[in-house]
Structure formats: C-alpha cells, structure tokens
Amino acid sequence: MRKKQTRRLDTSGEGIVAAAALLASGGLVALPTETVYGLGADATDGAAVAGIYEAKGRPSFNPLIAHVPDLASAERLALFDPISVRLANAFWPGPLTLVLPRRPDCPVSELATAGLDTLAIRVPDHPVARRLLEAVGRPVAAPSANRSGHVSPTTADHVLVDLDGRIDAVVDGGPTRVGVESTIVAVTDGVARILRPGGIARAAIEAVVGAPVADGPASDDVAPLAPGMLTSHYAPAARVRLDAAEILPGEALLAFGPVPPPGAERAVAVMNLSPAGDLVEAAANLFGMLRALDGAGTASLAVAPIPAEGLGEAIRDRLARAAAPRGDGASGA
C-alpha cells in the first residue's frame, strides 16, 4: 500500500472538523471511544471500508460495527424490536453493540457487513467520538485500530505504533476509559444472544432482557475459519499462561488483586491489573499492561487468576485469546 502521512489531531473544534472532512472524503481516521480506539471510515463508502481491511492487514473481510451518534440514526440502518429498543435505551451511549436485521434501505456498504443481512451498530459513550459522528453525519465503520493479530489500542500512541503511515489521522483523546471492547448482543426473531462478552456484564444485559441470555455463535466465527484454528488476535509475542497458581523462573507476571501468587518475587517484571481487585479497573488496564509486559521481552507471561464475574468474563475471554495457539492467518479482528 502507498505510505500515508498520518496526522495526530487534537480534540479542539478544528481537530474534529479536520477529522470529519477526512472521513467524508473517504479517508481513514482512528478515533477514541470509551472502549478502545477504532479505525474509522465512512461506512457507506465501499472503497473507504476496503481501506480499513488493507490498513489493518486483515486476512478476511470480517463484518464491522457501524458507529452512530444516537438511537434515531441507528433506527435508519436496522430493524429494532421491543427487546433491542430496551437494550439500546438502557446502554446507549455505551459499550453495547447490537446485531440486528439490516433495513432494506440501509446505506451501509456490503463490504462493511461482509454480505450478511444483519448489521452491528453501536452508539459510543465518548464525547470526541460523538462530536465526530455528528459532524460526519454518516455511519462510521470502525474495527479496533490495531494491525491484525495485535492487541486493541487504548491510547493514540498504541494506534500509531501499529498504523503510522497506513492511515490519514488519529484523533488523540487520551487513554480510553473501559479498555475492553463492547459486549455484542444479537437480537433476531425476538431472541437476544451474546456473541462477544465485553464492557457490559452479562448480568446487566439479563436484567434488561428479563431472562437468562444464551451465547450465540462467537462473533469471530462469523467469518469462516479453518477447522481447529483458534483465533489468537489479541496475541502478544510472549506465550501467555492463564490462571497461574505460581510463577516459574524467567516469567513476567500480570497480577490481579492484593495477594501475589507464590513465586511472584522471582518474576522478571510485574504489573498489577488492579491491586484492589477491581474488575473495572482491571479491564481499563488490560491491553496497555499486556503490551508493556510483552515489551519486557520475556518468553512467558504468567497471568494471575481473575474471577469470571462481571467484567471478568470479558477480561478472561481476551486473555484466553492471547493464550490461544497461533495459527498463521488466524482471523484477525
């Protein structure tokens, strides 16, 4: 691909106007959301959307999330039923993505939805993202702004490490608040299913739906994968060892909570997701600390046990992907 001059834009009115103009003319602009930074393009412009896949080096055309500023804009793209309206009212703006039937007149490019008859939509809870979406006036397709196979970026610097020279701009809105991606809930034929755990806990979704919510097919399975190949797209270079009961010689430690696992004193590097054992704080720190410890250059990274409740479900999901055996060309979201 041709090398681009990547601009770092600030969140002033001028920065937002410049970012909106780039998006409106088919450019690629990374933007902050409350979860992670997204790599945005005009979702109605197939060529711009193709640029996303090219910049990320994504091996397959995974469907993308369309970002809009409010529920009214979302209703112009997809068909809501009583359950999806309740979920949208409860969690938008916020880290919930709804997968809904596309409206027949939905202007989102087929490339952005990978030819599916459903559309993933979300209203992000970030002042910069919302100002930008309002200024563009079109849905913005945005996967996480990392190269395929890397962890999701939670700062503008992370974005530039992966995508400098490959995108037109990044709007620097500082570190993201939630730190893991949105929870993806499909609502079709009146039934809600969780496709990806994320920034909103299952219990909160179930409280709004008023019933237990089952898992649907994992969202990464939407694009066909070779049999037996696990997706490892949150993959650091180091091997990741989960639920480590003790630390082995030469390992780095990603700790959680006040009590270090046995052998912690011999870890070559230590970071703690949340010394207080707070899962919200841990989610916000997850990707940054994975990157930092991976940068310490050890071959193995031990991760302390993290409870599976609340945001712990999403944290454990991302760590399991980081620990998954690597397959060349694994689907990289």
- In angstroms, give the least distance from the CB of 297 to ligand TXA: 27
234 is in an annotated binding site: yes
Of 92-100, 123-131, 136-144, 299-307, the window that binds Mg ion (rule: CB under 5 A) is 136-144
Decide: is 29 part of the binding site for ligand TXA (CB under 6 A).
Answer: no
Shorter beta-carbon distance to ligand TXA: residue 119 or 264: 119
Interactions with ligand TXA, residue window 130-159 (CB under 6 A): 142-144
The site partner of 88 among Mg ion, ligand TXA, none (C-beta below 5 to 8 Å per kind) is none
Shorter beta-carbon distance to ligand TXA: residue 155 or 272: 155
Of 22-30, 162-170, 214-222, 312-320, the window that binds ligand TXA (rule: CB under 6 A) is 214-222
Decide: is 106 part of the binding site for Mg ion (CB under 5 A).
Answer: no
Q: Are 255 and 304 in contact (CB under 8 A)?
A: yes
62 is in an annotated binding site: yes
Decide: is 36 part of the binding site for ligand TXA (CB under 6 A).
Answer: yes
Q: Given the rule CB under 6 A, which residues bind ligand TXA?
A: 33, 35-36, 38, 62-65, 95, 97, 99, 113, 116, 118-120, 122, 142-144, 181-182, 184, 195, 219-220, 222, 333
The contact set with Mg ion (CB under 5 A) reads 144, 333
> Which residues are annotated binding-site positions for ATP?
58, 62, 118, 144, 152, 196, 234
